[in-house]
Structure 1
Amino acid sequence: MLEKCEGIVIRTTDYGETNKITTLFTREWGKVGVMARGAKKTNSRLSAVTQPFTYAYYLVQRSTGLGLMQQGEMITSFRAIKEDIMLTAYASYVAELTDRCTEDKKPNPFHFELLHQTMNYMNEGYDAQILTNIYEMKMLNVLGMYPVLDKCTICGATDGQFSFSIREGGLICHRCLEHDPYHYKISQAAVKLLRVFYYFDLGRLGNISVKEATKEELNTIISAYYDEYSGLYLKSKKFLQSMKSFGSDFMKNSPNINKNKDEG
């Protein structure tokens, strides 16, 4: 029996000469693996709809193991993501994080909507690093990680100057800093954004404008927290970090780029 689902491709694996095993994150069924026979052939009707990050309707013959993809109807290919190597790096990380965070065949339409919104905003040109940080914060509960962000994790105070303690698992106020001499001193703007990213509905996202220094603080805290508690090692994260490092080094070593461009 064929069943229709709405899904986003989060992983593909070549199988044999012409086939692909495609992992879809679907609205109806959660994460499912499906065999797409002949999808590696350029003239296959399944070739386009099995590309990474593709958002489509699929007709699938489901089974207890791998399903069988029979047909796909493209909704969007998220073309802008695929044409920009940095956006591809961010989207790859979000896709791999989704894959590693979720169990097979556990429907979660709220998570599907979050993934779809994140990809859609990236494709529309919103700040990919901030979107990725928001997604990371939303995934913490899925991984069983519950940082304390609404008060001091030591004394419970909701007022004061806050730092972040990886060891204590959340914010600590200025009165409790001695409990963790290795705490991260961060700006109050970063504290506010960590809370916002964790609690707010991505569907209400407006224009994003965050200072580079604050973005660096957020990335440092979130990465350190994941490294300590998630147990995940993601190849896409390492690739993303290397791309960001390359871009930063390139700009530092090319101080006259903008000047020359303006003069031209």
Structure 2
Amino acid sequence: MMARETTDFTGIIIYRRDYRERDLLVKMLTDKIGPAMFHIRDGKKRGFRMASDFLPFTHGTYIGALDNQGLSFVNTASETHQYQGIATDLRRNAYATYILSLVDHAFTDGQGIGGWFNQVAAALDLINRGQDEQVVTNVIETQLLTVFGVAPTWDRCVICGERHRPLDFSEQYGGMLCDRHWYLDQRRFHLDRRTAYYLQQFAALNLQQVNTIKINSFTKERLQYVLDTLYNDQVGLRLKSKRFINQMNRLEQKMGKLSTDD
């Protein structure tokens, strides 16, 4: 795509911040050039006609000048809507913020991201509708590992290719080991079959085809352990939005324990 091409596009607001006296800088995930920074002139001015079109967690159609090397601009917006369920719920908000931050870090500004836009939009829609925000986020985390340069082999033993025997994940070997090769890595994750199964499913799951998600709490804990370990050890990404989720979860667990003790 040539720089500064005016076109219509679909976008999701990632974040916004003040710029100069009256303007805004808005980071948006677009379907055409991936993440892009937009300069919104007079965005802070009272009565700005597109104020609601640039609120966080807004998804819609825009017309503007896309620049894959610098700042982009928006001329007009139409059919925009805010994910109200996300905007008004702290937990949903936290996970949606983390997803958008992950995607923003995974992809280079101004470059196409293929089907990822629709996958992210589907994830936000599921969270907005009240589906399990952690599990939806785990799907995105699992699939983004490849984008970050980590490509675990989830569906078969990395040694012999076995798919039907019990499998366990090995960081050392970058994928699953079948039970005949567990001896190769005593520090493997010791996953139960259900957790291993979900990781395999998550790696290829199209969220646009999902209506409901329900996984038991033990499996959710194991899934999160695997993904947190990989992101810490292999990706090396430690986002503020992720730290907030961890703090929120610890507080909820503490409050739950206090309630049980009472």
TM-score, normalised to structure 1's length? Answer: 0.91
Q: Structure 1 residues 213 and 33 mapped into 2: Cα distance closer, same or farther (>3 Å)?
A: same
Q: Structure 2 matches for 1:1-264, cutoff 5 A?
A: 2-63=6-67, 64-255=69-260
Amino acid at match of 1:62: L
SS state at 2:7 partner: strand
5+ residue gaps, structure 1, are 258-264
5+ residue gaps, structure 2, are none
Checking the alignment, whether the CA contact within 8 Å between 1:9 and 1:25 is kept in structure 2 is yes
Deviations 1:69-94 (A, max 9, x none): 23222422001101000101000000
| Separation in structure 1 between the aligned mates of residue 112 and residue 157 of structure 2, nearest angstrom | 34
| Separation in structure 1 between the aligned mates of residue 12 and residue 213 of structure 2, nearest angstrom | 25
| Separation in structure 1 between the aligned mates of residue 27 and residue 34 of structure 2, nearest angstrom | 10
Amino acid at match of 1:150: D
| Separation in structure 1 between the aligned mates of residue 56 and residue 45 of structure 2, nearest angstrom | 16
Larger CA deviation: 47-56 vs 153-162: 153-162
Q: Structure 1 residues 30 and 249 mapped into 2: Cα distance closer, same or farther (>3 Å)?
A: same
Checking the alignment, whether the CA contact within 8 Å between 1:54 and 1:74 is kept in structure 2 is no
| Separation in structure 2 between the aligned mates of residue 175 and residue 226 of structure 1, nearest angstrom | 27
The alignment of Structure 1 onto Structure 2 pairs a total of residues equal to 257
Amino acid at match of 2:85: A
How many Å apart are 1:228 and its aligned residue?
1.5
**What is the CA RMSD across the aligned residues, in angstroms?**
1.8
How many Å apart are 1:256 and its aligned residue?
7.4
TM-score, normalised to structure 2's length? Answer: 0.92
